[in-house]
Amino acid sequence: MASQIVFKEKDYEFIYKTRVIQLQQTTDNPLRLDRPKVTIQRGRKANVQIRTKGNFVDPLSRAATQKAQTNPLSRPQTVDPLARPSAQPTQKIEQSQPQTQAKSVEPNKPQQQQQQQEGKLEIDAEEKQLKATGEFSIYWSEIREDFQNIFQIKTYDLEQPVPNPFGANVQTMNQFDGQAKSAYSGDSKIEYQTQAPKQGTQKMILQKTYIQKVLDIRRDLKRQWINGDKVASLQLAIQSCKLLIDNDKPLFAPVKYVYIIDILETFGKFVIERLLKLSYPQYTDQKIAEISLQSVVGSNISETASEIGRNWINKIGSIRELLPRLYVEATLLKVYYFIDQSQIKPIFQRLIKQVRAIGDYINALYFALYLFRIGAELFSGEKDYLISTLKDFFIYMNQKNKFSKFDVQGDQYLRLFEPYLIQTFRQYSQNCTEREFKDIFEHFRQSTQNHFVLKKMIEQFQAVHISTLALELFSIMQAYPVDNKYQLYACFLPKIAKGLTNVAAGAEICEYVLQDILQIKSFSLFLEILASLIELIFRSFQGYQKNQFFFLILQRFNDLFSMVEKDQVNTNQSRDTFIKLHQFIIKIFQDSQDISEILQIDTFITCIQFFPEDMKKLVCNDLLSMIINRDQKEKITDPMAVHSIVKLTANLNNKKSITKDEQKSLAKIINQLLQKIDFGKDLEQTLNLYAEMRGQFGNISGLSEILIDRALDLIFKGKRLSKGKTQKKIISFFQACIAYSFITIPTIDNPVSKLRKYIQVAQVGLSLNLLSQSEAVVKTTIETLLELPETHNGRPIDEVVTPYILDLISFIIIVPDDPSAGYLNIFQGLLKAIEQLKWNPKNGGIYSIVIYVNCIQYLCAQVQERLPYHFENVKSNDALFNKDSQFSLTVLELVQQLYVKLGEQAGAILKLNIADSIENGLIVKHMLSCLNRLLTLLKFNQEAETTFTIFVDLIYKKINELNRDRTGKVQLTLLKAYFLLTFINIEKSTTFNFEEKKNQMINILESAKN
């Protein structure tokens, strides 16, 4: 049995230094070494076992015992999810390995496709789980997201072949004939090591399979840690780092880097959490997660945590390969918080310098990127290490011959370093001063001034920094090839627009860029640069200069588009061009402080006409919405701008195919636009606009009513502006508004709406003392009654139109009659129209009774010495026929005729048998109302007694019918007070004897209540 040598803490430094000397980076490919054989031989040669106070055995100094024959760094036995069990064992590879067999089979294609799909779903599921749990720190998550966005890892084509570093127990493919083969292992143990390839062949696997195996390593690491095998977890982390060494497929390097760093992040998190739990055993897991390492002090660190931390650091020396050793050391750098915090910064600086020792520059910069992630967490305020690696990168940029080392083009190879550049400039730009920005710009100026690096710098630094050196940056861009220069414009121009302090510099840049874009012949490129230039134009120019800029730009667009063949307009490329143009136009509107300036540019409307019909509607709709949604106080007053708005709106009106919903939406848009337009005191120009709108959009349902309302509003606005003075010019304008409204009403489709607007226009006309026009509108209103259909929206027309007829009767009380046409000629025309109205036979009679009672009220008002109301300066019938006895006789004759009509209508209803309690209740309610109104209007005589008798009989009948069911009784109960009031009015105003029926009706009302 070998003796044990126990080292004290002071001896660790000596061991570490000697190990570093012995384990320098080897030139051999670490993934092609027989790692188990090497470690076993090294263990057999050792004479002693080196153990620490924590009883951790140094894995490279094990004694040649039976226990030491097992590979101490090999992964413990786990189940391979991609392997299939095999019945036939193979010859043992090593004594420490179980018996396995590899068997090649021809794959079943459908089954192979299913396996590929399952593998893709497994990777996607892992991504979703990581995103949901938030397992990684914000520092790595930020970099990880950069990789995913730049290289499209989520949608990356993982069907390409890559060298197989995992051995024979994964699905492989032949590089030469492209035929996929499968190899399955009969043992559950997975060795993550390189297998020697057969002579003349190279074992290949799909990239998807590669990523699946890396995910398996990560899951196994978590499982081993949970099971207490910390050394096995370390070995899995080391083995995963070895996968980074081989970069024969450089385009695959970013993909595998993301998933391998995930493993290191998980491993580092486990180590630190364990040390924290040992130092703070009283804390919960949630509180442990909230502890900042900077708050860890010596008094809180337990001896056990310090000892375990030193053991973790000592294990780093057992790693032979340089790259895995550096990654693991960087991962465990935070362990020094539990040992000696003063060592953290020197070690970090040493690791930054050791980046230069990595031969493969992809690995070098990716390792530097990982160090940046650590530096962001531990040294957030420092930036020297960023400049150091960036200067090295600039030196590497001079060695362009290395860019063609692989089968990758120079720019494509350079793009692999994009995450490094983004993170470098992003960290450096945080709390960056103007002096610091000028320093990093000076380093760039002294380099090769690669356009790709400059683009990333501009994207990451704030606009205020970019704008301070705007002219210097712009002068560098002018030396680039045209394509590279135009790419930089897209990010450079918006930046300086946001942080612009020197208007003269902005104007100078705009002038140079304008010269460039006026020479461009590509639509796509033309619009891409325009979208980035617009805001700078708004910030650099005002008034005429700005409009002239847009005029030249839009004119150039129209010239470019005129060169395009018509059959190319609907191609995908052309549609992409129109999408960019759409974005350009929207951008102009968004950045403009005064939309009227843009709308006044003639070429602006011209370029919109080039859009395909479907896209044209979308563009116009977006522009009109932006106009509407701007500040309500902002009005459009320029006639040219209004004309442009009308043209934009006209593009939404396809008279042949527009639907009702589209008409409704367009009417709403026009109404909102009219609210934004204000010509001030120029009311005639506003009325001309309404006339133009009527001609352009006469087919839009609902718009005519809006235009009529706005024309009538103009009248009252004119009255306010004229301050009540009746000048000839203003009277002519009022007449024009009434005439416009009168002509527009027939374009309304809805007959009831048409009737309502006629009454409204007649009322406004009479208020202006426009007698002839008002009378003409009233007569047209009466004629409209004869054109009404029997139903409207499923309801009988009499039920719908009765309120408007009553409104018309109330209005014509003050409308003067023409003496030459006879007395009450308007009213008598209305009576004839009412008689010819298409009354509903079921309940039309009750509505005609209501109308006739109102007609009697109208006649009673006409014989008064003074009408109940007047319009100013309007002489009504009370002034024209006050002492005319013939006029009074005409009124009495009409009253007698109406009494007869009331009796006829009531008698007709009396003969009907209506079973509906709701209808009967409505009849009773209206009859009581009419009866009370008649009692207040007329004296009781023989003709009235006949009508009253029929009314009472009708009410009595309906009371009995209502008393038959529960609904009717409820209505009788509600109307009881109205009944009693009516009985009192009859007894006061008439000598009519109806005592018997009154008592009967009271008894019915009492019974209904019970």
| Cβ-based neighbours of 585, under 8 Å, separated by 6 or more | 604, 607, 608, 619, 623
Q: Which of 137-141, 219-223, 283-287, 986-990 has the lowest mean pLDDT?
A: 986-990
Mean pLDDT calculated for residue range 248-262: 92
For residue 603, CA distances in Å to 554, 609, 610, 893 come to 6, 10, 11, 72
Q: How far apart are CA 817 and CA 875, in angstroms?
A: 10
- DSSP states of 536-575 as a string? HHHHH--HHHHHHHHHHHHHHHHHHHHTS-GGGTTSHHHH
Q: φ, ψ for residue 722 (rounded to 5)?
A: -80, -10
Q: For residue 636, give both structure tokens.
A: 């459009």
Q: How far apart are CA 126 and CA 116, in angstroms?
A: 16
Q: How far apart are CA 902 and CA 635, in angstroms?
A: 57
Our separate counts of H helices and E strands in the chain read: 43, 8
Q: How far apart are CA 642 and CA 650, in angstroms?
A: 12
Q: How far apart are CA 216 and CA 203, in angstroms?
A: 20
Q: How far apart are CA 147 and CA 783, in angstroms?
A: 77
Q: How many residues are recorded in the chain?
A: 1010
> Three-state SS for 869?
coil
> Three-state SS for 794?
coil
Report domain extents, the chain.
Answer: 4-69, 109-293, 382-461
pLDDT tens-digit readout, 425-441: 999 999 999 999 999 99
> Three-state SS for 16?
helix
Q: How far apart are CA 109 and CA 180, in angstroms?
A: 10
Mean pLDDT calculated for residue range 460-484: 92
The model's pTM: 0.58
Q: How far apart are CA 9 and CA 6, in angstroms?
A: 10
Sign of CA dihedral 862, 864, 869, 873: positive
pLDDT tens-digit readout, 771-829: 899 999 999 999 999 888 888 888 888 888 999 999 999 999 999 988 887 888 999 99
| Cβ-based neighbours of 49, under 8 Å, separated by 6 or more | 2, 3, 4, 5, 57, 58, 61, 62, 63
For residue 880, CA distances in Å to 818, 860, 875, 877 come to 10, 16, 7, 5
Q: What percent of the chain has pLDDT over 90?
A: 33
Q: For residue 913, give both structure tokens.
A: 């048998």
pLDDT for residue 38: 46
Mean model confidence pLDDT for the chain: 79
Q: What percent of the chain has pLDDT over 70?
A: 79
CA geometry: angle at 465 spanning 463 and 471, to 5°? 95
Q: What is the DSSP letter of 450?
A: -
pLDDT tens-digit readout, 921-947: 888 888 888 888 888 876 766 667 778
For the chain, the farthest-separated pair of C-alpha atoms sits apart, in whole angstroms, at 147
Residue among 544, 660, 643 nearest 602 (CA):
643
Name the β-bridge partners of 5.
50
Q: How far apart are CA 36 and CA 19, in angstroms?
A: 19
